[in-house]
Chains A and B, each alone.
Chain A
């Protein structure tokens, strides 16, 4: 059976070609492409077929799926219905039981090397913690990963280990990159990731037939190139030295920088400040809540929210560097004073002798 191209799918659904071109333009903008590259997107959508996608969920909270379905540009229905064919998803598939398992088998068998595997949640190294229908999570994942064209790790759990891997990590959870080494993996961290980033990554793969450009940690550069701090709408207050000291003071009302109430924007790579959330309405810092750094590695262990700390290297412990540093200097000064006293006493003794 010949599969329809994305354009044909769109036209079949009663849209005009004009709508199709609009969709492509919006998509190009979301992917961070230059307007002149829109024709590449159009060409790709005219020629390419819908890409089969398998969406697996492991140690997760379905928050990434929830975020995904709130994508506004491209609208999630256009992604779901026109661009990809979501063959298997625990949260979104209408079918269930044997039917849906058969659909999964069908994709693995008929589209090897073509389908995209989207993974939500971390994997436990101890199978006892996650075995579904007698099959361990690891086995399910590796079987689906074998024939995948690319793997997308949606969310901080599948990218870094996330909350399941936070101290004391009872399930010995690991990110998916721990289990598969020979496949291209795109990390789309965030708790959850921004909906438009999630759809944008898929759109990029469909458009260009290859992975988007990744940074040194495997995240798409288009969306994880900058820190929140670099594009923050409150950045001017940071540079001015105007800080909210608590959540209910005048500074907070004036919209001052949230650095002193523990904003982790300066160490967090994500595009919240540019893309924003819920169709570009707002994002945490804009609405008065400091960034919690949810898209960073080990964010749950990087100290309490609303406090800025330093992590002791190679541990999951954080301390207040200024307090600990000042105490250490105090102890040193006391030691020096004691040493000086002993020195003076010894010298006195020598004189007496």
Chain B
């Protein structure tokens, strides 16, 4: 005898497991326009801590690699601790960067529809291609995106996703390589095998990928201003307030698709 089941309950459970991404909140302004809460607070906090970290890490990082100023007191070593402080700030901010990114990863699952991205869809790549055509001033079928367009999402996967992972692993390897026997040392010693085996190769990766972040930053800031200039939808203020002003049709229409 089989246990009788209620098909309705089963369906409900399935829905819980395969939870759809949470929709962004809307505030109606008038018949045509609507305020969309695109970037929730954790996303905005992440964004600014991340931006701050990247800038500080880059300045201190370049200094560590190529010290562009010397200590002002040209005397015995114990009067100054310039490189020591640069390294200390670099390491401290590196931990901040890591924790910040971990929280953001949590928010990928917890956040609204604009906090996540799924590159494992054909439409993602098709629409990314349309977006490339759009940026090259070619004829295209690019939609209007309230969150990030697929090309932007792709750039975050590459730089903020993969780039950060490379920087974190190579960075922690370099930090802990003097103590290979410590817990942290053991946690990161395998990294060397992935990046060429010796300390110099790991370091080279760390130096080269760092510049990728600056190139990303330049393009990212430009694209954000450009979007604001063309769409007039408050892109630039949205990263402070979280809200974008969108047409009701588009804001709600996009929801219906999903």
Contact = CB atoms under 8 A, between A and B. Distances in A.
Interface in A262-312: 264, 266-269, 293, 296-298, 302, 308, 310-312
Interface string A29-59: 0000000000000000000000000000000
B80 interface: yes
A329 interface: yes
Contacts of A269: 199
A332 B201 CA distance: 26
A128 B4 CA distance: 81
A240 interface: yes
B208 A241 contact: no
Given A239-B84, A336-B222, A342 B137 contact: yes
B129 interface: no
A328 B84 CA distance: 29
A326 to B, nearest CB: 8
Nearest to A227: B178
Nearest to B196: A313
Given A241-B82, A340-B222, A308 B65 contact: yes
Contacts of B123: none
A325 B210 contact: yes
A328 B214 CA distance: 9
A313 B205 contact: yes
Interface residues of A, number: 53
B195 interface: yes
Given A239-B77, A239-B83, A260-B67, A313 B215 contact: no
Contact of A241 (B83, B180, B211, B222): B83
Interface stretch (B21-29, B34-42, B68-76, B109-117): B68-76
B143 interface: no
A106 interface: no
A270 to B, nearest CB: 12
A210 interface: no
B140 to A, nearest CB: 13
B219 interface: yes
A296 B200 contact: yes
Contacts of A250: 74
A240 B83 contact: yes
A129 interface: no
Interface residues of B, number: 48
Contacts of B180: 215, 225
B178 A226 contact: yes
A1 interface: no
A225 B62 CA distance: 27
B226 A340 contact: yes
A347 interface: yes
Contacts of B199: 227, 266-269, 296
A166 to B, nearest CB: 14
Interface string A153-182: 000000000000000000000000000000
Interface in A83-132: none
B78 A243 contact: no
A155 B181 CA distance: 25
Contacts of A296: 198-200
Interface in B70-101: 70-71, 74, 77-84, 86-87
Contacts of B208: 310, 312-313, 321, 325
10 contacts: A217-B197, A240-B80, A243-B67, A264-B200, A269-B199, A296-B198, A311-B200, A318-B204, A329-B218, A347-B229
Given A236-B78, A237-B77, A240-B81, 20 more contacts: A216-B192, A217-B198, A236-B77, A240-B71, A240-B77, A241-B86, A242-B70, A243-B70, A296-B198, A296-B199, A310-B208, A313-B205, A313-B208, A321-B207, A321-B208, A321-B211, A329-B214, A336-B219, A342-B137, A343-B230
Interface of B: 62, 65-67, 69-71, 74, 77-84, 86-87, 135, 137, 177-178, 180, 189, 192-193, 195-201, 203-205, 207-208, 210-211, 214-215, 218-219, 222, 226, 229-230
9 A-B pairs with least C-beta separation: A241-B82, A325-B211, A236-B77, A241-B71, A310-B204, A321-B207, A240-B77, A239-B84, A267-B200
